[in-house]
Chains A and B, each alone.
Chain A
Amino acid sequence: TQLLEQSPQFLSIQEGENLTVYCNSSSVFSSLQWYRQEPGEGPVLLVTVVTGGEVKKLKRLTFQFGDARKDSSLHITAAQPGDTGLYLCAGELGGNQFYFGTGTSLTVIP
Chain B
Amino acid sequence: KAGVTQTPRYLIKTRGQQVTLSCSPISGHRSVSWYQQTPGQGLQFLFEYFSETQRNKGNFPGRFSGRQFSNSRSEMNVSTLELGDSALYLCASSLLTAKNIQYFGAGTRLSVL
Q: Which residues of A are at the interface with B, using a C-beta cutoff of 8 A?
A: 2, 31, 33, 35, 40-45, 48, 50, 88, 90, 92, 95-103
Cα of A33 to Cα of B55 in the assembled complex, Å: 21
Query: Which residue, A90, A95, A96, A103, has most C-beta atoms of chain B within 10 A?
Result: A96
Contacts between chains A and B (CB distance < 8 A), count: 57
Cα of A17 to Cα of B107 in the assembled complex, Å: 32
Cβ–Cβ < 8 Å partners of A45 in chain B: 101-103
Cα of A48 to Cα of B4 in the assembled complex, Å: 20
**Contact indicator B42/A102 (Cβ below 8 Å):** yes
Partner of B55, one of A41, A44, A96: A96
Q: Which residues of B72-108 have CB atoms within 8 Å of chain A's CB atoms? A: 90, 92, 94, 99-107
**Contact indicator A96/B42 (Cβ below 8 Å):** no
Q: Which residues of B are at the interface with A, using a C-beta cutoff of 8 A?
A: 4, 31, 33, 35, 41-45, 48, 50, 55-56, 58, 90, 92, 94, 99-107
Cα of A29 to Cα of B77 in the assembled complex, Å: 30
Top 4 A-B pairs, shortest CB-CB distance: A42-B104, A100-B43, A102-B42, A97-B56
Cβ–Cβ < 8 Å partners of B103 in chain A: 45
**Contact indicator B45/A98 (Cβ below 8 Å):** yes
Closest CB-CB distance, B36 to chain A, in whole Å? Answer: 10
Cβ–Cβ < 8 Å partners of B35 in chain A: 100
Cα of A67 to Cα of B4 in the assembled complex, Å: 34
Given A2-B42, A42-B92, A88-B43, do A96 and B48 touch, yes or no (CB 8 Å)?
A: yes
**Contact indicator B104/A100 (Cβ below 8 Å):** no
Besides A42-B90, A88-B43, 19 other A-B contacts (C-beta < 8 A) = A2-B42, A31-B100, A41-B106, A41-B107, A42-B4, A42-B105, A42-B106, A42-B107, A43-B43, A90-B43, A95-B55, A96-B33, A96-B56, A97-B48, A97-B56, A98-B33, A99-B45, A100-B42, A101-B42
